[in-house]
Amino acid sequence: MTSWSADELHPTFLPDARPVIGLTARGNRFDTLVFNLLHECAHLTRGHITPDSPAIIDDDILASEDPNEIEANQQASDWLFPTGFSYDSTKHASIVALATKHHVHPSLVIGRIQHETGNYKLYRNKIPKAWPDLTNAGLLP
């Protein structure tokens, strides 16, 4: 846990103890939005945060060595890829096949491969932007 950044997802609670996760404008990538949302949900399901505990403020969820952050990352990954994630090729057809196998959007496979390889240029243009659809749905100003 690190200092607060306005660019992160932040769980908090309503007066009746229902959790709220606020989304900000960081990383207009569909894959990042989905992973980060699942990561924050994992904090809730793993009991890392409750209505009685201070909020967890994530500054860089993937770089943290905090055990709760590692556990939340693993849970998010397990929800996306419950049978595990491995790939043999970064060819387009292989990515589509993996997405089909895991029943996820191909951008989630691309994002995972980008993270594992450190090659964030790989198929970058194939990852949809998240905010236009959220704005059109009236969920963002």
DSSP state string for 44-95: HHTTS--TTSPPP--S-TTT---HHHHHHHHHHHHHH-TT----S--SHHHH
How would you write the pLDDT of the chain (141 residues) with one tens digit per residue?
333 344 444 457 888 888 888 766 567 899 988 998 899 899 889 988 888 776 666 666 666 788 988 999 999 999 999 999 999 999 999 999 999 999 999 999 999 999 999 999 999 999 999 888 888 988 777
pTM: 0.81
For residues 81 and 39, is the Cβ–Cβ distance under 8 A? no
- Domain residue extents for the chain: 10-136
